[in-house]
Every structure is written in structure tokens, then in C-alpha cells.
């Protein structure tokens, strides 16, 4: 039947319209791709819409950055979908972007923030601009050395439990799965110091006790950040809201509801018994003390005679979101550092002996104090070398608010800067023989701008850095005089990583623990 017979006319303009539409969409998909060539910055050729994501997909994140560094040097341009991204491991540019011109590079490069549920979106990690300043000002006092000293007793208890669990493993000649062991330890530490919760993950393995660990692992196992819809949001940002409404969210719903219920109930208990709150030193209480009161108004900045000043009041939802953020950020990162550090102590007995000798010389039979820990200089080098080889967050992204010139390189407004931490700390011109574990290298390069790069740099550097370093040092100083780590049949000779934006080993890392006589 012809269109004339059915009475439906098929306008000749339709195919033309379709062609124009496809052409426009295609142009949209490649529109930004001349950014770096116009500025004379080298880089790999992008594909329409996806930019250089194809390389990440086929070769992996770590291998792509390594290959591009070898081809284009320390600074080059790529496209993360349509977004122009300057990738750099040049210490001079890093210093400009993350420290000197930080005011222009305050915000992170993020897509998943748009897909994060409302109750967990308003936090330090995901926020930008003046809101980030307000959060940072509110949270910084919780991480001073005075506050850290106040939580040392609690961390000491967790370290003693860790030691006795390892002693039991040693007596039973059990193989120790370092991921499980240190996740339980760091969960106990962060739940206690941040939320005032005694989770007893190390000792109480009843299923009802394990919910928090399972919920946390569910969040880390989520592949939303690497999924196709997130890539699509990168190409068409307007898709974020409909996706979120249709239930495509960054935090797995079960885990989100577990944490929301937990945090709301902790806050309710404290509101019911405000007198107990005076004795609390935990992070939740410090943020609750900044909660907006009736008649007060939360705003990011106030106008002062000499310019704008950030405020530090928080809404209840912001308190919940910050606590979730801290629990998440303080858990797997520190567990991962302890896991890799112990692995290297087991396979490098000479390093283990040297760390033990230092602990015995500095601390001996005394109770471990904050001052003792500051004297463990070789242990500092071992920790830095571990974090250099295994930065748990292998990539940091920042977005340029306005066009800026850094060290002679122009970064257009709206473009991002990626700092591939793993590539920077594995660049042989920064660290010779980067794939070898050599703590001694930090005895001489300790002051290098790159030495703490695994925690980021500048005003937005990891807020929990000192807590993490304290926790790692305390764990090693407690455990090592009692336990000797050694390789076992299940200790991998080399460690490979999954293709995620977190440094996750592909195989379990196990060692054996032996009692020292
Ligand atoms: C070995 C352990 C840790 C590592 C390697 C690590 C690494 C990082 C990195 C690379 C960043 C991004 C910094 C930047 O953008 O310049 C970061 C930010 C952050 N970290 Fe950590 N972290 C660790 C432990 C912790 C702990 C224990 C906590 C909490 C108690 C924590 C809380 C945070 C928060 C809240 C941010 C966001 C800071 C902001 O945007 O202002 N981290 N961390």
C-alpha cells in the first residue's frame, strides 16, 4: 500500500532533517576536540563522543597513563568523553594547580556526584566552591594534633585487639588474609573515632555485627562510576537528573539505607541524651555542635568589611553526609595501605628487621605515645614508599573555573586537570627503579613535593592524612614486636590491579604470621 493510498504523506524534508540532526549530534560529539591541538599540547587522538575512554577500556587506566607518559612526556591533553583534560605529572604544574592557583582549581572533576543520593551528596569530597570552603572550615578542627591525641586511647585498644587476633592466627598457623584483617581493623578505628561506635569487627563475627562491613564493601564494589550510563552523563550532562530519578544512583540503595538509618538513629540518641554529648570527643559530636539552630540560617559566606568570609554552620543532612563520607574515605584507603605495607614486610625480611629494631630502640617496653611515633623515622620511609607504590586513589581531578596559564601551559575555563598519582610516583625521572620497594629513597627525597602526593596536595589535601598515618604507625608499632610476617604459598609474587579508578589487587594478598619468641 502506498502512502498516497493510505492518505499519509511522507514529507521529503524528513530525511534531510534527519541528516542535519545526525550531523549536529556528531558535531556536538567532536566539538571540543581541537582544544589541545590549538594550544599546541600533544596527546592521543580522541574518538567521537567517547574521547580517549576507549584506551582506558582496552588497555586499563594505569597502563594508558604509563604509555602516554612515555609517548608525550609529563604533560599532554586527552578527552574524557567530550571534556578536555590536561594530564600532568610535572611537579611545577602540580604545585601551581593544587597550591598556588588553588582558588581557580578548587573543584573536582566529577560525574558521579550528580548521581549520588541527596542525603549523601552534601559532603567535603563531592562539593565545590564556597560550599567546600564552609565544609572544610567546619571539619578541619576535628583533625588537629590535639584531637588526634584525644582519640589515641581508642586506637590503642584497636591495635591491641589486632595484635591478639594475629597472635591467635599465629598459634593456629592460619593463613592471614590481609584485606579482611585490615578492613576490620580500620572499620573499628573509624567507627569509634568518627561515630563513637564500638563495632568490634575484629572479634565479633556474628552476621548481625557484620552489616556495616558488608554495606561498606557493597559501596566499594559498585561499578557505577565505570558504567555506560555514567559515560553517557559525561557526554550529555542533562541526562544525570533523569537517570537519578529512575533509580540509577551512585551509592547502592541497600547500603545507602543502612547508613542513613544508622546515622539518623545515632543523632536521635544524642539529641535525646544531650548531657552525654559533652564527654564525647568523636567527629560526629564535633559536627553536631556546629548544627544550625532554630532562627539561624546556613550560608556559605558572609560579607565582612574586608571581603567575604566563609561560615561553618551545617544542616543535619550535611552532618549525616559528612559522617558517611569520613567513614567511607577513612576505611578502605587505610586498610589498603596497611595491606601493601605488611605484604612488603613479609617479602622483605631485611626491611621488617630494620623497622622492628627502630621500634625496640625508640619505644622499648614503654607505652606507645604520640611523641614515640614521631621518632620512628625509618617507619615513615616505609609508609611513604608503600603509598608511593600503591596510592589507593590513583587519580585526582580538578576543574579550571577560569582560563589560567600554569608554567607556560594554558588551561581553558571549564577544562579539567588530571593528576595520575600512580603514573607520577612510577615515573623513573621522579623515582629511579619505580617498581622496586626501596624505603631508603625517602631518607633523601622526603621533602619532595611528590612525597605526599598519594594524599593529594594543597588546601584540598586529604583531611584525614594525619589520622591515617597515625593509625598505620600505631598498628605497626603494636604488632611487629609480637608478630613476624612471612610469605606463604598464597603470597603473590607480583600484584596486578583491576581496571577501576581505585587501586584494587586482582588476587587476595595473604601472608603467614609467626609468634616472636
Ligand atoms: C592511607 C590513607 C588515605 C589515603 C591514601 C587518602 C587519599 C586521599 C586523596 C588522594 C584525596 C584527594 C586529595 C585531593 O583532591 O587533593 C583524599 C581526600 C579526602 N580524604 Fe583521604 N586518604 C586516606 C585516608 C583518609 C582518612 C583516614 C580519612 C578520614 C578520616 C580521609 C578523608 C578524606 C576526605 C574527607 C577527603 C576530601 C578532602 C577535600 O575534598 O577537602 N582520608 N584522600
Give the closest residue to 491 by CA, choosing from 477, 475, 471, 505.
505
At 445 the pLDDT is 64
Rounded to two decimals, the pTM is 0.92
Tell me the CA–centroid distance for residue 303 and ligand 1, in Å.
Answer: 30
Tell me the CA–centroid distance for residue 458 and ligand 1, in Å.
Answer: 12
Give nearest CA residue, ligand 1 atom 21.
462
Per-residue cell: 429: 625521572
At 8 the pLDDT is 65
Ligand 1: atom nearest CA of 322 is 35
CB 339 within 8 Å of CB 509? yes
**Is 299 known as a binding-site position?**
no
Cα dihedral 440, 443, 446, 448, rounded to 10, equals: -70
Residue ranges of domains in the chain, CATH in brackets = 89-300+310-515 (1.10.630.10)
Tell me the CA–centroid distance for residue 43 and ligand 1, in Å.
Answer: 29
At 75 the pLDDT is 96
* 3-state DSSP percent of the chain in helix, strand and coil, to 5: 55, 10, 35
* Binding-site residues, ligand 1, Cβ < 6 A: 124-125, 136, 325-326, 329-330, 333-334, 337, 387, 392-393, 396, 454-457, 460-464, 467-468
Residues 6 or more apart whose Cβ sits within 8 Å of residue 332: 183, 186, 216, 220, 392, 502
At 250 the pLDDT is 83
Measured between alpha carbons, how far is 456 from 450 in angstroms, rounded to an integer? 9
124: Cα within 13 Å, side-chain hemisphere: 24
Ligand 1: atom nearest CA of 396 is 15
CA 257 to chain centre: 22
CB 290 within 8 Å of CB 313? yes
Per-residue cell: 283: 567527629
Residues 6 or more apart whose Cβ sits within 8 Å of residue 103: none
Tell me the CA–centroid distance for residue 16 and ligand 1, in Å.
Answer: 53
Distances (CA, A) of 16 to 22, 24, 25: 10, 12, 14
Question: Which of 147, 325, 329, 336 to mutate for ligand 1's pocket (most ligand atoms within 8 Å of CB)?
Answer: 329
Tell me the CA–centroid distance for residue 350 and ligand 1, in Å.
Answer: 31
Residue with cell 552523563: 233
Tell me the CA–centroid distance for residue 456 and ligand 1, in Å.
Answer: 8
Per-residue cell: 197: 561506635
Q: How many CB atoms lie within 10 A of CB 407?
A: 15
Give nearest CA residue, ligand 1 atom 3.
333
Strands 83-88 and 416-419: parallel
Label residues 272-292 b or e (16+ Cβ within 10 Å = b).
Answer: eeeeebeeebbbbbbbbebbe
Cα dihedral 349, 355, 361, 365, rounded to 10, equals: -90
- Backbone φ and ψ of 301, nearest 5°: -135, 155
The DSSP line for 49-112 is TTBTHHHHHHH-HHHHHHHHHHHH-SEEEEEETTEEEEEE--HHHHHIIIIITGGGS-SB--SG
At 25 the pLDDT is 86
How confident is the prediction along the chain (517 residues), in pLDDT tens digits per residue?
A: 455 566 666 677 788 889 989 999 888 888 899 999 999 999 999 999 889 988 888 888 899 999 999 999 999 999 998 899 999 999 999 999 999 999 999 998 876 777 888 888 899 999 999 999 999 999 999 999 999 998 999 999 999 999 999 999 999 999 999 999 999 999 999 999 999 999 999 999 888 778 899 999 988 887 777 777 777 887 888 888 888 888 878 888 899 999 999 999 999 998 888 776 666 778 999 999 999 887 788 888 887 777 778 888 899 999 999 999 999 999 999 999 999 999 999 999 999 999 999 999 999 999 999 999 999 999 999 999 999 999 998 889 999 999 999 999 999 999 999 999 999 999 998 899 999 999 999 987 656 777 789 999 999 999 999 999 999 999 999 999 999 999 999 999 999 888 777 788 999 999 999 999 8
Query: Residue 323: enclosing H or E segment and its boundaries?
Result: helix 316-329
At 277 the pLDDT is 62
Measured between alpha carbons, how far is 293 from 287 in angstroms, rounded to an integer? 13
ipTM over 0.95: yes
CB 185 within 8 Å of CB 177? no
Give the closest residue to 283 by CA, choosing from 156, 193, 157, 185.
193
Amino acid at each position: 500500500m502506498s502512502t498516497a493510498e493510505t492518505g499519509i504523506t511522507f514529507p521529503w524534508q524528513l530525511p534531510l532533517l534527519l541528516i542535519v540532526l545526525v550531523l549536529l549530534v556528531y558535531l556536538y560529539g567532536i566539538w571540543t576536540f581541537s582544544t589541545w591541538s590549538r594550544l599546541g599540547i600533544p596527546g592521543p587522538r580522541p574518538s567521537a563522543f567517547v574521547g580517549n575512554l576507549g584506551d582506558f577500556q582496552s588497555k586499563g587506566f594505569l597502563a594508558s597513563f604509563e604509555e602516554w607518559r612515555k609517548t608525550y612526556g609529563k604533560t599532554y591533553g586527552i578527552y574524557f568523553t567530550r571534556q578536555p583534560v590536561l594530564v600532568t605529572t610535572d611537579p611545577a604544574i602540580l604545585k601551581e594547580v593544587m597550591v598556588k592557583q588553588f582558588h581557580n582549581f578548587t573543584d573536582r572533576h566529577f560525574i558521579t556526584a550528580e548521581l549520588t543520593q541527596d542525603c549523601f551528596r552534601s559532603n567535603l569530597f563531592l562539593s565545590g566552591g564556597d560550599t567546600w570552603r564552609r565544609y572544610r572550615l567546619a571539619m578541619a578542627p576535628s583533625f588537629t594534633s590535639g584531637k588526634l591525641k584525644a582519640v589515641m586511647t581508642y586506637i590503642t585498644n584497636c591495635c591491641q585487639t589486632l595484635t591478639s587476633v594475629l597472635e591467635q592466627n599465629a598459634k593456629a598457623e592460619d593463613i592471614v588474609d590481609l584485606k579482611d584483617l585490615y578492613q576490620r581493623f580500620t572499620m573499628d578505628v573509624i567507627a569509634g573515632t568518627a561515630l563513637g561506635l564500638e563495632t568490634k569487627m575484629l572479634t565479633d563475627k556474628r552476621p548481625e555485627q557484620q552489616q556495616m562491613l558488608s554495606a561498606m564493601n557493597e559501596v566499594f564494589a559498585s561499578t557505577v562510576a565505570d558504567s555506560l550510563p555514567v559515560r553517557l552523563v559525561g557526554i550529555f550532562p542533562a541526562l544525570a537528573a533523569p537517570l537519578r530519578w529512575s533509580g540509577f544512583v551512585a551509592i547502592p540503595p541497600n547500603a545507602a539505607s543502612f547508613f542513613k538509618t544508622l546515622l539518623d538513629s545515632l543523632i536521635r540518641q544524642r539529641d535525646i541524651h544531650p548531657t552525654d554529648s559533652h564527654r564525647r570527643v568523636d567527629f560526629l559530636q564535633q559536627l553536631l555542635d556546629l548544627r544550625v539552630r532554630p532562627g539561624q540560617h546556613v550560608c556559605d559566606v558572609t560579607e565582612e568589611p574586608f571581603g567575604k568570609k566563609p561560615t561553618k554552620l551545617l544542616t543535619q543532612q550535611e552532618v549525616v553526609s559528612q559522617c558517611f563520607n569520613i567513614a567511607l574515605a577513612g576505611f578502605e584507603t587505610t586498610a589498603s595501605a596497611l595491606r601493601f605495607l605488611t605484604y612488603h614486610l613479609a617479602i622483605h625480611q631485611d626491611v621488617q628487621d630494620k623497622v622492628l629494631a627502630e621500634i625496640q630502640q625508640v619505644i622499648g617496653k614503654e607505652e606507645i605515645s604520640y611523641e614515640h611515633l614521631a621518632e620512628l623515622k625509618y617507619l615513615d620511609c616505609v609508609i611513604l614508599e608503600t603509598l608511593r607504590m600503591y596510592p589507593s586513589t590513583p587519580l585526582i581531578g580538578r576543574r579550571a573555573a577560569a582560563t589560567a596559564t600554569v608554567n607556560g601551559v594554558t588551561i581553558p575555563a571549564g577544562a579539567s586537570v588530571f593528576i595520575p598519582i600512580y603514573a607520577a610516583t612510577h615515573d623513573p625521572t621522579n623515582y629511579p627503579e619505580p617498581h622496586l620497594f626501596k624505603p631508603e629513597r625517602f631518607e633523601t627525597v622526603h621533602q619532595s613535593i611528590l612525597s605526599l602526593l598519594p594524599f593529594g596536595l594543597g588546601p584540598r589535601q586529604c583531611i584525614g592524612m594525619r589520622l591515617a598515618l597515625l593509625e598505620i604507625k600505631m598498628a605497626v608499632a603494636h604488632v611487629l614486636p609480637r608478630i613476624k610476617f612471612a610469605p606463604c604459598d598464597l603470597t603473590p609474587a607480583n600484584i596486578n590491579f583491576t581496571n577501576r579508578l581505585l587501586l584494587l589487587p586482582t588476587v587476595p594478598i595473604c601472608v603467614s604470621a609467626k609468634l616472636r619468641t
